[in-house]
Amino acid sequence: MWQSTRNEEEPKMIREFNVVIEKDEDGYFVASVPALRGCHTQAKSLDILMKRIREAIEVCLEVEEPVSNEFVGVQRIAVNC
Protein backbone atom coordinates (compact mmCIF):
# COMPACT_ATOMS: atom_id res chain seq x y z
CA MET A 1 0.00 0.00 0.00
CA TRP A 2 1.34 3.44 -0.96
CA GLN A 3 1.53 6.10 1.76
CA SER A 4 2.53 9.73 1.38
CA THR A 5 5.59 10.79 3.33
CA ARG A 6 4.67 14.44 2.96
CA ASN A 7 3.64 16.12 6.20
CA GLU A 8 0.48 17.97 5.26
CA GLU A 9 -0.63 20.71 7.63
CA GLU A 10 -4.26 21.36 8.30
CA PRO A 11 -5.46 24.71 6.96
CA LYS A 12 -5.04 27.46 9.54
CA MET A 13 -8.07 29.27 10.87
CA ILE A 14 -8.20 33.04 10.40
CA ARG A 15 -8.92 34.93 13.63
CA GLU A 16 -9.29 38.66 14.12
CA PHE A 17 -8.27 40.64 17.20
CA ASN A 18 -8.69 44.23 18.33
CA VAL A 19 -5.33 45.93 18.81
CA VAL A 20 -4.98 49.05 20.95
CA ILE A 21 -2.20 51.36 19.75
CA GLU A 22 -0.78 54.27 21.74
CA LYS A 23 2.29 56.46 21.36
CA ASP A 24 4.48 56.78 24.45
CA GLU A 25 6.51 59.77 25.64
CA ASP A 26 9.64 58.48 23.87
CA GLY A 27 7.87 58.35 20.50
CA TYR A 28 7.40 54.57 20.37
CA PHE A 29 4.14 53.05 19.19
CA VAL A 30 2.89 50.51 21.73
CA ALA A 31 0.36 47.83 20.77
CA SER A 32 -1.61 45.54 23.05
CA VAL A 33 -4.32 42.94 22.49
CA PRO A 34 -7.01 43.07 25.21
CA ALA A 35 -8.21 39.53 24.43
CA LEU A 36 -4.74 38.06 25.10
CA ARG A 37 -3.24 38.83 28.49
CA GLY A 38 0.34 40.05 28.24
CA CYS A 39 0.25 40.31 24.46
CA HIS A 40 1.98 43.57 23.60
CA THR A 41 4.93 44.99 21.70
CA GLN A 42 6.43 48.31 20.61
CA ALA A 43 8.19 49.83 17.60
CA LYS A 44 9.25 53.18 16.16
CA SER A 45 7.01 52.82 13.08
CA LEU A 46 3.46 51.59 12.57
CA ASP A 47 4.53 49.20 9.80
CA ILE A 48 6.99 47.42 12.06
CA LEU A 49 4.54 47.56 14.96
CA MET A 50 1.87 45.72 12.99
CA LYS A 51 4.34 43.03 11.94
CA ARG A 52 5.48 42.59 15.54
CA ILE A 53 1.98 42.48 17.04
CA ARG A 54 0.95 39.84 14.49
CA GLU A 55 3.96 37.74 15.58
CA ALA A 56 3.15 38.36 19.25
CA ILE A 57 -0.46 37.23 18.73
CA GLU A 58 0.72 34.01 17.06
CA VAL A 59 3.06 33.27 19.99
CA CYS A 60 0.38 34.09 22.60
CA LEU A 61 -2.12 31.79 20.88
CA GLU A 62 0.34 28.90 21.29
CA VAL A 63 -0.01 29.11 25.08
CA GLU A 64 -3.45 30.58 25.79
CA GLU A 65 -6.97 30.93 24.47
CA PRO A 66 -8.26 34.47 23.99
CA VAL A 67 -10.88 35.81 26.39
CA SER A 68 -14.15 36.88 24.88
CA ASN A 69 -14.64 40.63 24.81
CA GLU A 70 -16.36 43.15 22.59
CA PHE A 71 -14.78 46.46 21.65
CA VAL A 72 -17.18 49.25 22.56
CA GLY A 73 -15.17 52.39 21.92
CA VAL A 74 -12.85 54.97 23.39
CA GLN A 75 -14.06 57.83 25.54
CA ARG A 76 -12.17 60.93 26.63
CA ILE A 77 -13.02 62.41 30.00
CA ALA A 78 -11.81 65.57 31.79
CA VAL A 79 -11.15 65.65 35.51
CA ASN A 80 -10.09 68.41 37.89
CA CYS A 81 -6.53 67.87 39.13
> Residue 31: exposed, middle, or buried by beta-carbon count in 10 A (0-12, 13-18, 19+)?
buried
Q: Hey, where are the domains in the chain? A: 20-63
Query: How much of the chain exceeds pLDDT 90, in percent?
Result: 75
**Long-range contacts of residues 15-20, Cβ cutoff 8 Å, at least 24 apart:** 15/61, 15/66, 17/57, 17/66, 18/69, 18/71, 19/53
Q: In sequence order, what are the residues at sequence separation of 6 or more whose Cβ sits closer than 8 angstroms to the Cβ of residue 32?
A: 19, 20, 39, 40
Query: How much of the chain exceeds pLDDT 70, in percent?
Result: 88
Domain 20-63, CATH: 3.30.160.250
pLDDT of 12 > 90? The answer is no
pLDDT of residue 4: 47
